[in-house]
A = this chain, B = another copy of it.
Amino acid sequence: MSPLAPLKASSLYFTPLPPSHVVPAGKESHGRYMLTIPWNRVSGWGQPKIAARQELSFDPLAGVLQYAVTCFEGMKCYKTDNGDLRLFRPDKNFDRLKRSAARLGLPHDWDNDELLELFAKLVALEAPIVPDTDGSSLYLRPTLLETSEGFGIKDDAFAAEALLYVATTLNLGKGLYPSSDGEGKGIKLDACKEFIRAWPGGTGSYKLGANYGTVNISKKPGYAMSLWLHGKEDFISEAGAMNVFIIKQAEDGFLEFITMSLDGGIVLPGVTRFSLIQLLTEHAEGKKDFPLEGMPKNVRVVERDISMPEIISSLENGTLKGMFGCGTGVVVVTVGEIQYQGQTYTIPANPLIKLLRDTITGIQRGKIDEGRGWSFKVPEWDVEGKEGQDEEKVVA
């Protein structure tokens, strides 16, 4: 067996939009282009292509349609005040996509730099439509799924054929969270015990489609999303598709930022979560000051379980100083209210939540240099280059 072809950015085949291109009705808010990279088990990665956004075709028995063999990522492309395009820590998303893909028996071997070059070209093409206001962006949805028949009993669990693609869309989440600027009263959550999002030995820590569609129906009118509980202790796992933090006054005078540990395999390892932990920890340890003014010195990050009874008792004794969700979609958003067992609990607001949000969005839009290289500057792409010259015949 010949070695599998690696994923190669240099073999990109680019098809410009034809002069007659018309955006289909209802698709006006999407990016005009799409990146696709086929894979098969015999030959490896096929030719990457960038062409007009279009529908994808699958055999009726394809693994993605029958057995939910699909995983994805959420990323955003920001435009700076200079007009540069930026991606935020794309290597973190690529590594997580590898981990999700491995969990599903999908290909998970590629050079992140090659993939980044292709992503950069895709977003460079969309530069004219990437918005440049605070809180707006071009949202990228990398998706990796099984296109081969995922049917019946296979000899092993690995896909025969797969497709990695990236679709983009504008302004996702804009206006959905009236309080998502960190001011106001914050979002309302409905604590849910009827549907359990994740459990030990399950897939809660992987970004699989299967984790999302199965819990869609729990959303109640009037609430932004569900607060997922698990275990007889009513531990919190996530809220909607966000990681959750509480801010709590500790007995030793420190202000604690507490979030669930990743150890149980129940919580998604969020990129915003990681970044907040790192910024706060390095600030607390005196390694690197928090990028914006106003973060107290005596803070501490704690990763451990948080239960609804703890939230309630901390509210009662006054030690709960705030609660927020974080993720690529929402960035950082205040939780203002929780409905739990028929009671409504109001969570105190905290100006530090807005500080966290302003810090992350500032880094993402290139206004704050945090000194760690988190913001990737997308190179300009001269599409008059060699791309688009040769379409390879990909062995199917």
Contacts and interface: CB of A to CB of B under 8 A. Distances in A.
Interface of A: 27, 30, 34, 53, 55-61, 63-70, 72, 103-105, 141, 143, 145-146, 150-154, 156-158, 165, 167, 169, 172-173, 176, 193-196, 199-203, 208-210, 212-214, 216-219, 221, 224-225, 240, 329
**Main SS of the interface on chain A?**
loop
A105 B216 contact: yes
A154 to B, nearest CB: 8
Nearest to A152: B172
22 contacts: A30-B61, A55-B58, A55-B59, A56-B60, A60-B141, A60-B165, A63-B213, A64-B65, A66-B72, A68-B70, A68-B212, A70-B213, A141-B151, A150-B213, A153-B173, A153-B176, A153-B224, A194-B201, A196-B199, A196-B201, A196-B202, A208-B214
Nearest to A153: B176
Contact of A68 (B59, B151, B214, B218): B214
A194 B145 CA distance: 23
A203 B194 CA distance: 11
Contacts of A169: 61, 151-152
Contact of A60 (B61, B143, B156, B208): B143
A173 B152 contact: yes
B67 A213 contact: yes
A68 to B, nearest CB: 4
A199 B214 CA distance: 13
Contacts of A105: 216-217
Nearest to A177: B153
Given A56-B57, A60-B141, A152-B172, 12 more contacts: A56-B60, A61-B141, A61-B169, A65-B70, A104-B214, A104-B217, A105-B217, A146-B213, A153-B176, A153-B240, A156-B221, A199-B199
A10 to B, nearest CB: 24
Contacts of A208: 68, 214
